[in-house]
Amino acid sequence: MGNNTSGIRLNGFGGEIVARSGCAFVEKLDAPGGPLHAVHVAGTHYEMGRQIGAMLGEKIYGSFAMVQGMLGESGLPGPFVTAIGSRAWSFYAKHVPAVYLDELRGIADAAREAGVPLTLEMLETVAAVPEFTSYWQMEKMLSLLMEEPQEDVEPVWDGKERKSPPIQCSAYMAWGSRCEQGKLYGCRNLDWAKDTGMAANKCVTVYHPVGENGEPGPASAVFGYIGFLGALAGINENGVALGEIGAFNERETLDGRPWHYVFREVLDTARNLKEACDIIEKGHFVQGYCFNIGWGDPRGFGTSAFAPAGVSVEVDAQYTEILADDDARERGAVAVGRSGETLLFDGRPKPYGIALKDAVVRADTAFSKTVRSGQYTDKGPAGENNSGDATQGRTWRDLYRPISLAIRSLTEGLPFEDAKGRWARYAAPGPAHPMTAAEAMEICAAAGDNKDNVMSIFYDATALEASVAFETGSADTWRPAAQAGYTRLKLAEVFAAGRD
């Protein structure tokens, strides 16, 4: 190990320690469906990469095999997986801070020294997957990546005629008047390919970055799977918490910033909401997404300066729009066409925004005219046969609207009059009151109760706590993450590394 890790002492969650590398270690925590791996690393990104490769090289090699199978099921023959994935990463990598490329190199170096046949190209393929598997115009992207046509490659994707897969990620952040003691509570539900075996590698990775000059950066907890080195979700010691939703859009590129490494950059550096937004505002994203960013202001809690807040972000390969709570763009959103022009239904505009003060909610649907004009998702106007009416969209109907109305129901005492199924309890909310953590988490679980939910995270970004759940079972015994049971993680002490 280099001097950057000398004398560092890391705190764990109290689980069984199963691997060590210098100051770094891996512990197993009891969790529904099998152990949750907690990975604790510290140092420069290259040093943290070496620690991960030394402790988890075999498991990462197994993750690559699962990724290979996932892409194979989508129509890409095994021999091409590494070549295509690594070539996709070569585009994304141009926009990824060099420290994360160092991290991948560190993993590969340490794994090779341990005798694990894990190559840098394999790691690059896994690193590319969160972006590469999310294109709407997949055949177009594949054709750009293949150096010459391959007759035996017959992907199931069919370009602009592709039907939206039945995934429905969701996220919200609520704070201030909406939550007890003004805290910030948040939710991130990930819907993805289910029952792939990835849940056996579920993990939380706690990073303690140290610069080359020896200066420590913010510690962060990233939730996902062993081998996925970007951040599918996470929170840092400053109370910055993140959520993401894929939102298909016609404006896509290979040559842009991959969102899951932008998330790593935010978690590694942002001290507050403004600094997080400064990183996001650089734009140049690869494709369509909605993000939610919350800042729990843990250091300000209990003082007159306490000021938690959150925003939603809507992006595609051309536009980046940051919307605050009760944003005029969301409050006044009406259906628009591909040029941003207002569409009329029965001679009138069609409103679809439910803007809330002290809360931001997102599913697929964008509310800024710029991003919405290019969306396929939720009847977006870019779809050849789409009406543009978001209120007829699946995720608007099943997630954005019910999450928004459930929050409003509890905190304003307004009935969610047509609430059904898992939302039925909000039809008669009782007196208005700030949400408790349990009530806020219940909304998170209700949003994730569907047949593709593989990870569900609830944040208390003020107390620096997270509750995380992953899918359990397989085939007939499979259960969505949000209904499988959550593991509560108290992060404040774990973030606090010490030195001898």
- Stronger pLDDT, 395 or 74, i.e. the higher one: 395
Percentage of the chain modeled with pLDDT above 70: 94
pLDDT in tens, 280-336: 999 999 999 999 999 999 999 999 999 999 999 999 999 999 999 999 999 999 999
Contact assessment for residue 455 and residue 473, using Cβ atoms and an 8 Å cutoff: no
Q: Is 90 exceeded by the pLDDT of residue 165?
A: no
Phi, psi of 387, deg, nearest 5: -80, -20
Please give the radius of gyration of the chain, using alpha carbons only, rounded to the nearest integer: 22
| Angle formed at CA 333 by CA 332 and CA 336, multiple of 5 degrees | 140
| Closest residue by Cα to residue 360 from 313, 297, 301, 303 | 313
Give the C-alpha separation, 481 to 47, whole Å. 33
- Whole-angstrom distance, CA of residue 34 vs CA of residue 220: 24
Structure confidence at residue 147 (pLDDT) = 62
pLDDT band of residue 68 (cuts 50, 70, 90) is confident
**Would you say residue 85 has pLDDT above 50?**
yes
Q: What is the pLDDT of residue 153?
A: 47
3-state secondary structure of 7: coil
What's the residue count for the chain?
Answer: 500
Token representation of residue 177: 């008047």
472-487 pLDDT, tens digit per residue, is 999 999 999 999 999 9
- Tell which residue, 362, 442, 363, has the closest CA to residue 410: 442
Crossing angle of helices 120-132 and 78-92, in 10° steps, is 80
Q: What's the pLDDT score for residue 442?
A: 98
What is the band of 167 on the pLDDT scale with cuts at 50, 70, 90?
Answer: low
Model's pTM, two decimal places? 0.95
Residue-averaged pLDDT of the chain: 93
Nearest-angstrom CA–CA distance, 356 and 412: 11
- Count of beta carbons in the 10 Å neighbourhood of residue 354: 18
Alpha carbon 33 to its chain centroid, in Å, reads 21
Kind of pairing between the strands at 24-29 and 36-43: antiparallel
Please name which of 166, 101, 156 lies closest in space to residue 127, comparing C-alpha atoms. Answer: 101
CATH of domain 170-198+241-258+283-489: 3.60.60
Long-range contacts of 371-374 (CB under 8 A, 24+ apart): 371/249, 371/288, 371/314, 371/315, 371/316, 371/319, 371/321, 372/314, 372/333, 372/336, 372/340, 373/336, 373/337, 373/338, 373/339, 373/340, 374/249, 374/250, 374/251, 374/288, 374/316, 374/318, 374/319, 374/338
Task: Give the span between the Cα atoms of 272 and 240, in whole angstroms.
Answer: 6
3-class SS at 329?
A: helix
Nearest to 340 by CA among 299, 291, 388, 273: 388
Structure confidence at residue 3 as a pLDDT band (50, 70, 90): low
Q: What is the pLDDT of residues 367-421, one digit of tens each?
A: 999 999 999 999 999 998 999 999 999 999 999 999 999 999 999 999 999 999 9
Q: Two tokens at 234?
A: 């996470």
H or E, element range at 68: helix 45-73
Distance between CA atoms of 248 and 383, rounded to whole angstroms?
10
Is 267 buried (19+), middle (13-18) or exposed (0-12) by CB count in 10 A? buried
Count helices and strands in the chain by DSSP H and E runs: 14, 20
Q: Are 259 and 130 in contact (CB under 8 A)?
A: yes
In this prediction, residues 264-293 reach a mean pLDDT of 98
pLDDT at 148: 55
| 359-362: strand order across its sheet | 359-362, 170-174, 185-191, 453-460, 465-470, 487-490
Note the pLDDT tens digit of each residue in 432-449. Answer: 999 999 999 999 999 999
Cα gap 313→460, rounded to integer Å: 20
Rounded Cα distance between 245 and 395, Å, is: 11
Q: Could you give the CA distance from residue 6 to residue 408 in angstroms, rounded to a whole number?
A: 50
Task: Return the exposure string of 168-196: e unless at least 16 CB atoms fall within 10 Å of the residue's CB, then b.
Answer: bbbbbbbbbebbeebbbbbbbbbbbbbeb
Q: Is the pLDDT of residue 160 over 60?
A: no
